[in-house]
């Protein structure tokens, strides 16, 4: 049995392909597999193509090219990239920034890589250099954007193409696409590095354990990880805000489910969440049975279900930066009160992300 059939059978057995995923969170096609045998491009062919690009651009410099290919500490992709960098300032700048370990991840794919008039060989391999650098800096969305416009047959390192594509897809919760990339890495690419194959198997093992339910705690936690990662990369824009809205929506669904179970007598055997019963006396002399509606801004005591009004929850996410500190703190307490302990780290981290997004990094 081939690696492809083994992995596909395992995926089908665990429901990785069969379990439907919400379109908003996994809007990707089902994986399709190719049967071509991809292999690293021979160095002589790669050099000839890079030199042809320079000659067509009128920038060929034999001495500089010879100096690049004489280096023994560069990979084939890096030699091609350094050769292509001789041909334009755009390529030179891209390669230079990609090599800088202390440089921030690029916020967007350079415009010249989107130019259909750019030589296809140069475009493909410079895009891979860009994607590799951004994936290593956890800027996975931009890495995928760069790889979207090229084919693995166009690059000198097809194993690197599939590996960094799979890493970025796995990190951004694109399960089917990541599995397809890993299978092609292992099954279609000749002489793929062992380290790529080992990491690929680790990612598959991880994805086979993913719960298809978007309300599962680990799936919400992954969304929070992605939100925090994007904020760390100074990406507080529309994509990050969309992730945060989805987190609020999923938490809202969990709260509603917990409340529904409690109303149906399934919460602590019919008791209230912390073990009390309606009418029980509290230490302060009060009871768990409400005597009158509470003001909107009051944080109530007792052991109630901790219900959060849907409208307030969504408004909190959308207007967090305009809320006064006492209201922000009150909302955090309101959300986490009376919930199981495992809820609290996720909710706390979500609101910390909102604090960072709106410049309140030192607030709780």
Tens of pLDDT, residue by residue over 113-166, are 999 899 999 999 999 999 999 999 999 999 999 999 899 999 999 999 999 999
Q: Are residues 144 and 277 in the same domain?
A: no
Q: Is 211 left (phi over 0), alpha (psi -120 to 50) or beta?
A: beta
Q: Are residues 149 and 271 in the same domain?
A: no
Average pLDDT over residues 42-47: 96
Q: Are residues 66 and 170 in the same domain?
A: yes
Cα distances from 53 to residues 50, 63, 85, 149, in angstroms, run: 5, 16, 11, 19
Nearest 10 degrees: Cα torsion 95, 97, 101, 106:
-120
- Looking at the domain assignment, is residue 286 inside a domain? no
Q: Are residues 178 and 235 in the same domain?
A: no
Q: Are residues 164 and 224 in the same domain?
A: no
- Looking at the domain assignment, is residue 55 inside a domain? yes
Q: Are residues 222 and 161 in the same domain?
A: no
Q: Are residues 179 and 251 in the same domain?
A: no
**Looking at the chain, which runs of residues are DSSP E strands?**
none
Q: Are residues 9 and 141 in the same domain?
A: yes
Domain that holds residue 316: 217-281+302-357
Q: Are residues 203 and 221 in the same domain?
A: no
- Looking at the domain assignment, is residue 47 inside a domain? yes
**Domain boundary residue among 157, 182, 208?**
208
- Collapsing DSSP to helix, strand or coil, 348 comes out as helix
**Total-model pTM:** 0.63
pLDDT at 303 over 50: no
Q: Are residues 164 and 250 in the same domain?
A: no
CB 73 within 8 A of CB 51: no
Who has greater pLDDT, 36 or 29?
A: 36
Instruction: Note the pLDDT of residue 327.
Output: 77
- Looking at the domain assignment, is residue 135 inside a domain? yes
- Residue-by-residue DSSP string for 148-170: HT--GGGSS-HHHHHHHHHHHHH
**Domain boundary residue among 157, 185, 208?**
208
- Looking at the domain assignment, is residue 49 inside a domain? yes
Number of compact structural domains in the chain: 2
């Amino acid at each position: 049995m081939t690696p492809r059939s083994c992995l596909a059978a395992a995926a089908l057995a665990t429901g990785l392909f069969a379990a439907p995923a919400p379109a908003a969170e996994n809007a990707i096609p089902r994986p399709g597999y190719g049967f071509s045998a991809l292999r690293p491009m021979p160095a002589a062919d790669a050099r000839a193509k890079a030199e042809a690009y320079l000659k067509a651009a009128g920038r060929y410099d034999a001495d500089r090219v010879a100096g690049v290919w004489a280096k023994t500490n560069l990979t084939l992709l890096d030699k091609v990239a350094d050769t292509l960098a001789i041909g334009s300032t755009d390529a030179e700048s891209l390669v230079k920034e990609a090599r800088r370990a202390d440089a921030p991840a690029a916020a967007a794919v350079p415009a010249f890589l989107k130019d259909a008039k750019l030589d296809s060989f140069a475009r493909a391999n410079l895009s891979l250099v860009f994607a590799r650098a951004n994936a290593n800096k956890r800027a996975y969305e931009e890495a995928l954007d760069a790889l979207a416009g090229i084919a693995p047959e166009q690059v000198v390192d097809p194993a690197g193409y599939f590996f960094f594509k799979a890493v970025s897809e796995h990190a951004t919760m694109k399960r089917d696409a990541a599995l397809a990339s890993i299978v092609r890495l292992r099954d279609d690419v000749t002489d793929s590095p062992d380290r790529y194959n080992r990491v690929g198997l680790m990612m598959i093992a991880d994805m086979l354990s993913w719960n298809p339910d978007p309300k599962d705690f680990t799936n919400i936690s992954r969304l929070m990880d992605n939100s925090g990662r994007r904020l760390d990369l100074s990406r507080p824009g529309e994509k990050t805000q969309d992730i945060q809205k989805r987190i609020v929506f999923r938490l809202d669904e969990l709260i509603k489910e917990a409340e529904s179970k409690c109303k149906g007598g399934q919460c602590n055997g019919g008791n209230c969440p912390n073990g009390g019963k309606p009418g029980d006396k509290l230490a302060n002399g009060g009871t768990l049975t409400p005597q009158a509606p509470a003001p909107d801004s009051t944080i109530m005591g007792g052991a109630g279900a901790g219900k959060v009004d849907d409208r307030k929850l969504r408004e909190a996410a959308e207007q967090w930066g305009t809320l006064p500190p006492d209201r922000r703190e009150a909302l955090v307490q309101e959300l986490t009160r009376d919930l199981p302990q495992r809820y609290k780290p996720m909710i706390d981290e979500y609101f910390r992300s909102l604090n960072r997004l709106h410049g309140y990094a030192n607030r709780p």
